[in-house]
Amino acid sequence: MPATAPAPVRNAPHIGRTLRPADTTLAEDGELRLAGAECGDCGTRIFPAAPVCPSCNGERMKTLPLGAIGTLYAYSTVHVAPPMWQVPYVIGYVDLPEGVRVFGKVAGSDGVAAGLAPDLKVRVHVEADEGPADASPAAPTYRYWFAPA
Ligand SMILES: [Zn+2]
């Protein structure tokens, strides 16, 4: 085992999934939120956004700002992962009020699964990802995770 902490790893599930800037929106309260998409033809709502609707192949997708509070649908604790990921961590599905079910990291009161239960109200946390020092500043990324509201 190395004596020092492992190097930061982008897009690792134990720190939250990485987002493109287009997957975020700035809410009226100044906080970052997730942004999905809604089909202008059939009304299907998705996250992350895509240029083509998965239901009808329509191309009239428009940005759909997503709420900050959702309901935990299901979750699971991961104990086995590649060496650069810190275990245990929790992954789960959260239903947002817009009708979109989003997959991502869930952090209980102890950072793992303490206090989590199906139907628990959770808050969506979105923050800028610093990334590696040599990353292009022109391409910022963000990450998100869920925690009890
Ligand atoms: Zn559609």
Q: In whole angstroms, how far apart are CA 16 and each of 86, 89, 107, 139?
A: 12, 10, 10, 18
CA 38–ligand 1 middle distance (angstroms)? 8
Tokens in use for 70? Answer: 């959702």
CA 46–ligand 1 middle distance (angstroms)? 10
Per residue in 4-15, pLDDT (tens digit) is: 555 556 667 777
* Contacts (Cβ under 8 Å, ≥6 apart) of 70: 94, 95, 96, 97, 102, 121, 122, 123, 124, 146
Instruction: Count Cβ neighbours within 10 Å for each residue of 103-125 and write b for 16 or more, e otherwise.
Output: ebbbbbeeebbeebeeebebebb
Domain boundaries, the chain: 20-129+142-148
Which H helix or E strand runs over 95? Answer: strand 89-95
pLDDT for the residue numbered 131: 58
CA 23–ligand 1 middle distance (angstroms)? 19
Count of residues making up the chain: 149
| Closest by CA position to 78, among listed 10, 13, 144, 125 | 13
**pLDDT score of 87 more than 50:** yes
- pLDDT-derived band at 1 (thresholds 50, 70, 90) equals very low
Q: Which residues surround ligand 1, an ion (CB under 5 A)?
A: 39, 41-42, 44, 53, 55-56, 58
CA 47–ligand 1 middle distance (angstroms)? 13
CA 126–ligand 1 middle distance (angstroms)? 27
Per residue in 89-114, pLDDT (tens digit) is: 999 999 999 999 999 999 999 989 99
Q: 20-129+142-148 maps to which CATH number? A: 2.40.50.840
Q: In whole angstroms, how far apart are CA 74 and each of 42, 47, 90, 125?
A: 27, 17, 10, 18
CA 138–ligand 1 middle distance (angstroms)? 32
CA 99–ligand 1 middle distance (angstroms)? 15
Per residue in 17-69, pLDDT (tens digit) is: 778 888 999 999 999 999 999 999 999 999 999 999 999 999 999 999 999 99
